[in-house]
């Protein structure tokens, strides 16, 4: 009698049909069935034909999405897993694309139709009642870029080095005696250096000047040995400028072009900006903004600006391009600004964006110094009344980038008992009032303190913050693998698509399990009754 089960490595034990080894309610089946329902016309349009056959884009996106869900995102790991994991083998239909094919598809063709796939999955979520685009919870988070931590380029340093290089070039050109007359004709009494009121010099003009000067020196016929020495000296100076200083000037100009409106960028990933993380580290990364409902990601956008307030409008525009306009927008105090309030008012969206001092106003906390809310406004006199019943009279109205600001000022407050709490370093108190912004703040405060607003405030942290936690902790998205803002956006879109599919599968599975539990309970009662009746019959027969 054998003690052990059969062990023979020369036998094939895998069934020919891998489908039989995968449970009916497995996540891989749900991803497969859901993506099969999607119209992939845009994906097929990315393949003009000709040459060898390509892997089916439907299969490729299934593999990438399931790879994200199972934390297998690297193209090399995906290629390896496709040959040893039965779920991936079943999903790919036993196709084995290599890591280059997977990487090229992910960073290339996928970008053209990922948004369309993401939108269609959202429509499926809406059909199943998981979302209705009623309340949109928005927030931003920092995700590190695939860049060296010490590859930073700062705007101030670039400008300073460029200025120093131009001054050095100016000093060397001053030593070229044969050039003085030409400079006087071209620049007059102004220097070559870049100054606000002078002539702005760039590397192309410097290179052009050096070329012209070299040509003149070559054509210059020295009358004596002294002139010959001067010509050689001038050529050495021009060669030094051309070989040593001009390339650095070109480099600084390229850095300024890459910087654009930013203050920094990474040499490894030029689109990444250095931002301060929550761990108080200065890292190259991106500000990722996402909007959710019922913990489904409805919209996402990638930004190079660390401030959420400046990214809100562009984020909402990207959402509107997909045809999604929510009824209400809920955000923390980082989003409460005049432009953002005007935007949601323009599109008729409910104002639930907190402003900077919302929690202070909610708790009624008194600041060490008096704020605008501590002054009462008199409509008849158009003035503000302080706590000592003194008037702050209207002074003037000014426009700051199209924003109307009214100024109010008090008289001498030397004898006032609240002077130390009210006046800052002077004997007078002034107020700068933006009436439109104050109106929006009042509207936001009323909405947020209403019965619905209180529920939405509580739901915001649970809804959108949970998404970031799931992406970073469970799906391991703490650092992007791809470089460049377009590729990073595609990468986060793939993670968002995977998250929504996983979330939808979980909700459907929970609903099925509850239904099965209720039915099984009823079946158990009926089964007990049947068994009891059968037992009584057998007992009577035996007797």
Structure tokens at 460: 């915001």
Percent of the chain with pLDDT over 90: 38
Higher pLDDT, 338 or 5: 338
| Adjacent-strand bridge partners of 138 | 291
Percent of the chain with pLDDT over 70: 86
- Check residue 398 and give its pLDDT: 84
Residue 218's pLDDT band (boundaries 50, 70, 90)? confident
Residue 337 pLDDT greater than 70, yes or no:
yes
Higher pLDDT, 280 or 49: 280
- Check residue 367 and give its pLDDT: 67
Residue 273 pLDDT greater than 90, yes or no:
yes
484, 269 in Cβ contact below 8 A? yes
Give the end-to-end CA distance of the chain in Å, rounded to a whole number. Answer: 44
Residue 331, judged by CB atoms within 10 A of its CB (0-12, 13-18, 19+), counts as buried
Residue 461 pLDDT greater than 60, yes or no:
yes
Residue 525's pLDDT band (boundaries 50, 70, 90)? low
- Check residue 351 and give its pLDDT: 92
Pairing of β 391-400 and β 135-144: unpaired
3-state secondary structure of 443: helix
Residue 299's pLDDT band (boundaries 50, 70, 90)? very high
Mean pLDDT, residues 143-153 = 90
- Check residue 76 and give its pLDDT: 93
Instruction: For 344, list phi and psi in degrees, rounded to 5.
Output: -70, -30
Give me the torsion for CA of 157, 158, 164, 167, rounded to 10°. -150
Residue 197 pLDDT greater than 60, yes or no:
no
Residue 185's pLDDT band (boundaries 50, 70, 90)? very low
- Check residue 519 and give its pLDDT: 46
Q: What's the predicted TM-score (pTM) here?
A: 0.82
Crossing angle of helices 308-321 and 338-346, rounded to 10°: 20
Helices marked H in 175-305 — which ranges? 180-187, 203-219, 225-240, 246-259
Domain boundaries, the chain: 18-107, 153-266, 371-428
Q: How far is CA 341 from CA 178, 289, 306, 354, in A?
A: 63, 18, 20, 10
297-314 b/e (C-beta count within 10 Å ≥ 16 → b): bbbbbbbbbbebbebbee
3-state SS, 80-110, equals: HHCCCCHHHHHHHCCCCCCHHHHHHHHHCCH
Residue 183 pLDDT greater than 50, yes or no:
no
- Check residue 242 and give its pLDDT: 86
- Check residue 365 and give its pLDDT: 65
- Check residue 520 and give its pLDDT: 52
Residue 535's pLDDT band (boundaries 50, 70, 90)? very low
Where does residue 23 fall: left (phi above 0), alpha (psi -120 to 50 degrees), or beta otherwise?
beta
Residue 56, judged by CB atoms within 10 A of its CB (0-12, 13-18, 19+), counts as middle
Residue 192's pLDDT band (boundaries 50, 70, 90)? very low
Within a 10 A sphere around the Cβ of 168, how many other Cβ atoms? 17
Provide the strand spans (E) within 281-370: 282-293, 296-303, 328-331, 350-353
Residue 41 pLDDT greater than 70, yes or no:
yes
Mean pLDDT, residues 248-274 = 91
Q: What's the mean per-residue pLDDT of the chain?
A: 83
Closest residue by Cα to residue 18 from 65, 74, 79, 87: 87
- Check residue 1 and give its pLDDT: 56
Higher pLDDT, 178 or 321: 321
- Check residue 241 and give its pLDDT: 85
- Check residue 536 and give its pLDDT: 42
3-state secondary structure of 274: strand
Residue 181 pLDDT greater than 60, yes or no:
no
- Check residue 542 and give its pLDDT: 40
Within a 10 A sphere around the Cβ of 79, how many other Cβ atoms? 19
Higher pLDDT, 482 or 419: 482
Structure tokens at 396: 């003037």
Residue 496 pLDDT greater than 90, yes or no:
yes
- Check residue 538 and give its pLDDT: 46
Mean pLDDT, residues 250-273 = 91
């Amino acid at each position: 009698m054998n003690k052990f089960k059969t062990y023979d490595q020369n036998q094939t034990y895998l069934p020919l049909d891998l489908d039989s080894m995968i449970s009916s309610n497995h996540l891989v089946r749900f991803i497969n069935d859901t993506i099969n329902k999607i119209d992939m016309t845009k994906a097929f349009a990315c393949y003009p034909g000709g040459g060898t056959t390509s892997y089916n884009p439907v299969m490729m996106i299934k593999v990438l999405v399931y790879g994200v869900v199972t934390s297998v995102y690297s193209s090399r790991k995906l290629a390896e897993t496709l040959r040893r994991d039965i779920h991936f083998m079943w999903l790919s239909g036993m196709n084995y694309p290599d890591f280059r094919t997977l990487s090229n598809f992910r960073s290339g063709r996928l970008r053209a139709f990922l948004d369309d796939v993401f939108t269609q999955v959202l429509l499926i979520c809406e059909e199943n009642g998981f979302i209705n685009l009623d309340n949109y919870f928005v927030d931003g988070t920092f995700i590190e870029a695939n860049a060296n931590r010490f590859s930073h380029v700062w705007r101030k340093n670039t400008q300073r080095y460029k200025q120093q290089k131009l001054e050095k070039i100016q000093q060397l050109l001053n030593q070229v005696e044969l050039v003085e007359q030409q400079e006087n004709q071209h620049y007059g009494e102004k220097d070559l250096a870049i100054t606000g009121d002078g002539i702005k010099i760039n590397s192309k003009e410097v290179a052009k000047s050096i070329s012209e000067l070299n040509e003149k020196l070559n054509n210059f016929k020295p009358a004596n040995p002294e002139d010959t020495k001067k010509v050689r000296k001038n050529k050495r100076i021009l060669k030094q400028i051309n070989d040593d200083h001009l390339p650095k000037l070109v480099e600084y100009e390229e850095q300024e072009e890459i910087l654009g409106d930013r203050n920094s960028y990474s040499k490894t990933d030029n689109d990444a900006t250095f931002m301060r993380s929550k761990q108080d580290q200065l890292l190259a990364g991106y500000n990722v903004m996402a909007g959710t409902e019922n913990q489904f990601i409805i919209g996402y956008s990638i930004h190079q600006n660390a401030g959420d307030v400046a990214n809100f409008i562009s984020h909402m525009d990207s959402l509107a391009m997909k045809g999604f306009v929510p009824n209400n927008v809920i955000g923390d105090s980082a989003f409460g600004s005049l432009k953002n309030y005007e935007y949601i008012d323009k599109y008729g969206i409910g104002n639930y964006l907190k402003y900077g001092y919302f929690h202070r106003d909610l708790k009624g906390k008194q600041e060490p110094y008096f704020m605008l809310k501590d002054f009462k406004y008199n409509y008849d006199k158009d003035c503000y009344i302080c706590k000592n019943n003194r008037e702050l009279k209207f002074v003037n109205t000014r426009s700051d980038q199209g924003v109307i600001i009214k100024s109010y000022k008090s008289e001498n407050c030397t004898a006032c008992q609240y002077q130390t709490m009210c006046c800052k370093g002077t004997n007078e108190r002034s107020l700068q009032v933006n009436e439109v912004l104050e109106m929006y703040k009042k509207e936001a405060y009323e909405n947020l303190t209403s019965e619905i607003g209180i529920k939405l405030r509580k739901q915001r942290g649970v809804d959108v913050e949970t998404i970031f936690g799931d992406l970073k902790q469970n799906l391991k998205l703490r650092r992007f693998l791809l470089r460049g803002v377009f590729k990073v956006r595609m990468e986060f879109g793939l993670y968002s698509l995977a998250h929504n599919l996983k979330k939808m599968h979980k909700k459907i599975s929970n609903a099925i399990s509850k239904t099965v539990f209720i039915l099984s309970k009823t079946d158990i009662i009926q089964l007990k009754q049947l068994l009891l009746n059968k037992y009584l019959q057998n007992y009577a027969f035996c007797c």
